[in-house]
Amino acid sequence: MDLKVMFTTFGMIFLAELGDKTQLATFAFAAESKTRLAVFLGSAGALILTSLLAVLFGSALAKLVPPNYIKMGAGALFVILGLWMLLFPGGK
């Protein structure tokens, strides 16, 4: 196992997830639930499943498309979505 890749991935995902909608939804569920363990297990299970899907689809896509194109495409998508949110905030 490549520990550098593991710790880099952990750090990047940890920072990206701080304060996002998933964390806020989990916060809200925990605040209104008496079974915090169930909230933790449900939230952790969902994150594990989405990570598994990302790894499986990412590795399959990397066989068809060079990884640097995937990185550029992901970066471009983040920029486009960020601009979209700035230009069309969706408020009433």
Domain assignment of residue 51, yes or no: yes
Six-digit token pair at 85? 């949110």
Residue 91 has pLDDT above 80, yes or no: no
What percentage of the chain has pLDDT greater than the value 90? 66
Question: pTM value?
Answer: 0.68
Residue type, 15: L
The model's pLDDT over 3-38, given as tens digits with 9 standing for 90+, comes to: 999 999 999 888 888 878 888 899 999 999 999 999
Six-digit token pair at 54? 């990302």
CA dist., res. 10 & res. 17, Å (int): 10
| 89 phi, psi to nearest 5 deg | -65, -15
Residue 49 has pLDDT above 80, yes or no: yes
Domain assignment of residue 77, yes or no: no
Domain of 37? 3-65
Q: What is the mean pLDDT of residues 45-50?
A: 94
Residue 54 has pLDDT above 70, yes or no: yes
How many distinct structural domains can be found in the chain? 1
Domain assignment of residue 74, yes or no: no
For residue 46, count other CB atoms closer than 10 A to its CB.
13
Domain assignment of residue 12, yes or no: yes
CA dist., res. 14 & res. 36, Å (int): 21
What does the pLDDT read at residue 92? Answer: 59
What does the pLDDT read at residue 79? Answer: 94
The overall longest dimension of the chain from CA atoms, in Å, is 50
